[in-house]
Amino acid sequence: MNFNVNDLVRENVKRLLPYSSARDEFSGEAKIFLDANENSLGSPTTKWYNRYPDPHQQKIKEKLTAIKGVPSKNIFLGNGSDECIDLLFRAFCNPGKDNVIICPPTYGMYEVSAHINDVELRKVPLLDNFQLDLVHLETRVDDFTKIIWLCSPNNPTANSLSREDIEIVLNNFPGIVVIDEAYINFSRHRSFIQELSEYPNLVVLQTLSKAWGLAGLRLGMAFAGEEIISICNKIKPPYNIGQATQEIVLNALDHVEDVNEMIRVLVRERDLMAKQLSLIDVVEQVYPSDANFLLLKVRNARDVYAALLSKGIVVRDRSNVQLCEGCLRITVGSPAENTALVNSLKDYGTAL
């Protein structure tokens, strides 16, 4: 399999001269900044935010290098993983010409971004066991297929995709393979980020929204070869991660053990809740989970959803999603929230 990123990137992106911000043109230390047309008198807040943030978030990347074991040159930070997804479409997919492949049921933003960017979307549904259909996948690839999107652990099915199957795709597809690992911290399987040197066509997405509990800050991570990262940096907005977000994230990254303890609690609660839910009559099946949520097949899913909502409990109705018919997706909450959820389902079953 011959992979050459220059064969994939859009011609207009190759020709693009990226916007050069004032901070891109300056390096080193200085005391007086008169280069970026900022308000030099400050801002009407206790902490001043009158200066533009670091456009390349170098301090965050340095801390992520220590945590993830990946060099800064292989890290891109986006305004949520959704920005990373959109940038990959814009960098590599020619509107009205190229196509991408997704494997539903899966995260919905791949399809949304494809439509926004006018890129043909080809669907290769997962098998009944929620694993890749490699035979079907191979038949859908053609010369205009630029990206295959894989989510592992998968949303909404909660399972990890077979590592061997993913490796087959990486070894045989000459385009870009994106593995979305938003839920990897809750999984027993190892991340693919340590395989970047083995697969030049690999992009791994992760996020601070799940295990790190920073969903409100909107910070996603893309890990890839230096060429792909350079292309993303070339087309991103100049200051895509705000100063306040950078400061809070830098502080959070000093608390790895606190995050690890939260992960341990959530996994323990996930497993306990799965056992408790499996004993309730209305629950037909609790699928195995490598994420911080459970997929449940229940009788009369829409009625159960409405019953929970009437008690102030919001879950996700996935009953209209292919392969998830009759299913609800339930996030693992705090111990008290999980108890309330289990008791509400028991009450619903008793009232039938």
Query: Can you count the helices (H) and strands (E) in the chain?
Result: 12, 11
- 1-49: pLDDT as tens digits: 788 899 999 999 999 988 888 777 777 777 887 778 888 888 998 888 9
H or E stretch covering 243 = helix 243-252
Residue 62 CB partners (closer than 8 Å, separation 6+)? 72
Strands 293-298 and 283-286: antiparallel
| Single-letter amino acid, residue 64 | L
Q: What pLDDT was estimated at residue 46?
A: 80
Query: Which pLDDT value is given to residue 147?
Result: 98
The mean pLDDT of the chain is 95
Model confidence at 308, in pLDDT bands (50, 70, 90)?
very high
Measured between alpha carbons, how far apart are the two ends of the chain, in Å? Answer: 58
Residue 45: the pLDDT is: 85
